[in-house]
A and B are shown apart, each in its own frame.
Chain A
C-alpha cells in the first residue's frame, strides 16, 4: 500500500517575489482556567524569496507558535499566512499537510529523526509523505552534501548529535521546499558542530534558493545573518476575538 496523497497543484502565486507574508495574524491559546492567552498578533511580516532571516525573541514569546502557524501545523485565529503565494491558513487540514510536505522544510532543535529508520530512510520517509517521487539518488546526494555519505544506513542512535542534526538538515531539503523553518537548530549541538550546522543550513538554502527563517535565542548565531528580526518588534499580542487550543 502506497501512502495516498492528493497531489495539490501548488503553483506559484501572484506575489512571486515573496516567499512568506503574514497579514493580520492573531493566535491565542485557551488556558485551563478558561482565560485566553494571546500569543501572536502580527500586523505584517514578510520574507522575500531566497532571503535568510534570524528571528530572535524572549523565551515564551511565541517563536515556536509562529513557526507552527507558518507551517500549517496550527491555524491562526485570524489573518493570512501566505507561503509562496498561497494562504496556508485557508487550506483544509489535508491540503495544509500536503502543502507542508511539499513546500516547507523543518529543522528542529531536537532533530526529531525517527529512531527506527536509518539516515537515508528518514529522508525517504519525508519524500513519501509529499506524494512525489521517492528519489533515492537525490536523498543520497543530500546526505553526501551534509558529509554523511558514509552514514547512509546508520540508525540515529548510532550517530553523534552533530550528525543527527545534519541528517535533519538533509531531510528538510528532501522535497525541495520554498521555505525552510529552523527552530534553534544549533541549540543542542556542541560548539564545533554549531558552526558546521549553521553554515550547512545557510549554504544549502542559498544553493537551492530556499527562503530561510531561523529561530534562535543565541545572538552569536543571529549575528551571522544579514537580517535579524526581533519578534517583539512586530508581534504585539492582544486579546483576540476567539480562542483556539491549537490544531
Chain B
C-alpha cells in the first residue's frame, strides 16, 4: 500500500468532514473557473472577436465612443461623415477594403430595441473576426441585401422576436425610446448564425434604404455648410458636391412646381446629401495603417482608430480591475477552504493519535506518518479542486446558451484559461501548507504514549 492509498483510507474514514472540506475547496475552485471562463469570453468578445478590420474611420471625437458605437453598438454615434469621403477612402491605394456603416435607428422597443446598421453586402463577404466568416441559418432566401428594404438579422434578434426569413418589421427613427416609427416594412432575407459578437444583436439594412427614410436627410443648406467646412482644403471635391446640391435644389423646386413631392428625395437623392457614421477599413499593411492613422491625426476631417486598442485600454483600467478583484476574491475563498482543511485535519489529530501510534509500532517511520497526513491534505485540496474544476466547466457549458441568449457573450465552457494551469500546483502547495502543522503533530507523536492513549 502506498501513502496515498493509506491517506485515502483516512479521508474515507472521516467521510462527512472530508466531504465538507473538499466541498468548500470545490466551491471556491468552481467559482474561480466560472469567473475565468466568463472573463475569458468578455476578453475575447471585446479584444479579438468583434471585428476583423484594421481601422475604424469616423468623425473626430472620442476614439472609445467611435468603437463603442460602431463595433459594439452600445453608444450613440459621434457624428457622420459625408458618403463622398467613403468614396475617397475606396480610392486610397493603401486601403484594400472599405465598408460603410450608418447607425442611429433601432428596432421598436417591443422588438428589443436592437441597433440598425445600414451597410452593403461587402460587410458579409468579409470575415466578422479573424478567420471566421458569417454564416446564415438554413432558411430559404436571397441571403443578400439586394432589395432596397431587405434586412439581415443577427441570431439574438431572431431568437428574441421569433423572426425568420420572410418576416417583416418596422424600425424607429433616432433613439431606442423614440416613438417615430418609419413606415417602411423591412423584409428579412437572412438570419445570421451566432457569432458571439455584437452582430448577433444587430439588424442590417441596405445602406441605400437608410437614405430613403423620413428624417434621414438634413436640409440642403445645412449639408452645404458642413461640406464647405469638410472640404475647405479640397476645392475640386467641394465644387462637385456643391454642384450636386444646386441641382438638387432645382429638382426639388421643379417637383413642387409640377406637384411631384418625391422629386429629389428617396433614391433620387445625390451622394452629396448622403452620410455614413463610420467606415470599416482593411489596410494593405500594418505600416499603411500607421501612416494612414497619422495622416488623419493631422487632418481635421476624420479620425482612424484601432478597433481593439480603446477597448483594451478600457478593459485594463476598468473591467480588468473588476476581473482581477473577482479572481482575488475566489482565490480567497479557496484559501479559506484550505484553512477549513487545516482545522478539520488538525482537530482529527487527537482522535488519530492512537492510529499513528499503531502505524509507528508496526514500523512506520516519522517521515511516513508525516507524509500520510500531508498526502491526506493534498488529496482533499486537489480532489476538491478537480471536482470544482470539472463542475465549473460543466456549469459554464450548461449555462452557455442561456448566458449567450441574455448577454450575447459566446461562452466556451471547455476553454482552459491560462490561469487554470496554475490552479493545481497552487492547490497542491496549499494542501502542503495547511497540512504541515497536522503532519508535524503526527511526526512528533510519542509512540508509547499514543499506544497507551
Instruction: Name the distance in Å between B372's Cβ and chain A's nearest Cβ.
Output: 9
Instruction: Name the distance in Å between A27's Cβ and chain B's nearest Cβ.
Output: 11
* Contact (A246, B359) CB under 8 Å given A94-B365, A121-B1, A124-B1: no
User: Once the chains bind, are B1 and A247 in contact (CB under 8 Å)?
Assistant: no
Tell me whether A164 is interfacial, beta carbon within 8 Å: no
- Spot the interface stretch: B3-11, B206-214, B383-391: B3-11
User: Once the chains bind, are A1 and B4 in contact (CB under 8 Å)?
Assistant: yes
Q: Which of A98, A124, A129 has its CB near the most chain B CB atoms (within 10 A)?
A: A129
* Contact (A116, B10) CB under 8 Å given A3-B2, A121-B1: yes
Cβ-neighbour of A101 out of B12, B13, B362 (below 8 A): B362
Nearest B residue to A101 by beta-carbon distance? B363
A93 to B446, CA, bound (A): 12
Chain A residues 52 to 98 lying within 8 A of chain B, measured CB to CB, are: 64-65, 68, 71, 73-74, 93-94, 97-98
User: Once the chains bind, are B3 and A5 in contact (CB under 8 Å)?
Assistant: no
Chain A residues 114 to 129 lying within 8 A of chain B, measured CB to CB, are: 114-117, 121, 124-126, 128-129
Tell me whether B429 is interfacial, beta carbon within 8 Å: no
List A contacts of B447 (CB < 8 A): 68, 73, 247
Tell me whether B375 is interfacial, beta carbon within 8 Å: yes
List A contacts of B366 (CB < 8 A): 93-94, 97
List B contacts of A128 (CB < 8 A): 1-2, 6
User: Once the chains bind, are A2 and B363 in contact (CB under 8 Å)?
Assistant: no
Tell me whether B202 is interfacial, beta carbon within 8 Å: no
List B contacts of A129 (CB < 8 A): 359, 362-365, 368
- A-contact bits for B50-85, CB 8 A (1 contact / 0 none): 000000000000000000000000000000000000
* Contact (A112, B367) CB under 8 Å given A1-B375, A117-B9: no
User: Once the chains bind, are B361 and A73 in contact (CB under 8 Å)?
Assistant: yes
Tell me whether B224 is interfacial, beta carbon within 8 Å: no
- A-contact bits for B342-386, CB 8 A (1 contact / 0 none): 000000000000110011111111111001000100000000000
List B contacts of A101 (CB < 8 A): 362-364
Q: Which of A113, A114, A130, A246 has its CB near the most chain B CB atoms (within 10 A)?
A: A114
* Contact (A115, B448) CB under 8 Å given A1-B2, A2-B2, A102-B363: no
Instruction: Name the distance in Å between B14's Cβ and chain A's nearest Cβ.
Output: 9
User: Once the chains bind, are B359 and A73 in contact (CB under 8 Å)?
Assistant: no
A1 to B379, CA, bound (A): 13
Tell me whether A150 is interfacial, beta carbon within 8 Å: no
List B contacts of A102 (CB < 8 A): 363
List B contacts of A64 (CB < 8 A): 452
A124 to B355, CA, bound (A): 16
Cβ-neighbour of A114 out of B4, B359, B449 (below 8 A): B359
List A contacts of B1 (CB < 8 A): 3, 121, 124-125, 128, 134
Nearest B residue to A102 by beta-carbon distance? B363
Nearest B residue to A113 by beta-carbon distance? B358
Nearest B residue to A128 by beta-carbon distance? B1
Instruction: Name the distance in Å between A63's Cβ and chain B's nearest Cβ.
Output: 13
User: Once the chains bind, are B3 and A114 in contact (CB under 8 Å)?
Assistant: no
User: Once the chains bind, are B363 and A98 in contact (CB under 8 Å)?
Assistant: yes
List B contacts of A93 (CB < 8 A): 365-366
A54 to B447, CA, bound (A): 24
A selection of 5 A-B contacts at a CB cut-off of 8 Å is: A98-B365, A100-B363, A117-B9, A126-B362, A129-B363
Q: Top 5 A-B pairs ranked by shortest CB distance? A: A101-B363, A116-B13, A129-B363, A116-B9, A112-B358
Extra contacts besides A1-B4, A175-B363 (13): CB < 8 Å: A3-B2, A68-B447, A97-B365, A106-B362, A108-B451, A112-B354, A115-B13, A117-B9, A121-B1, A125-B362, A128-B1, A129-B362, A247-B447
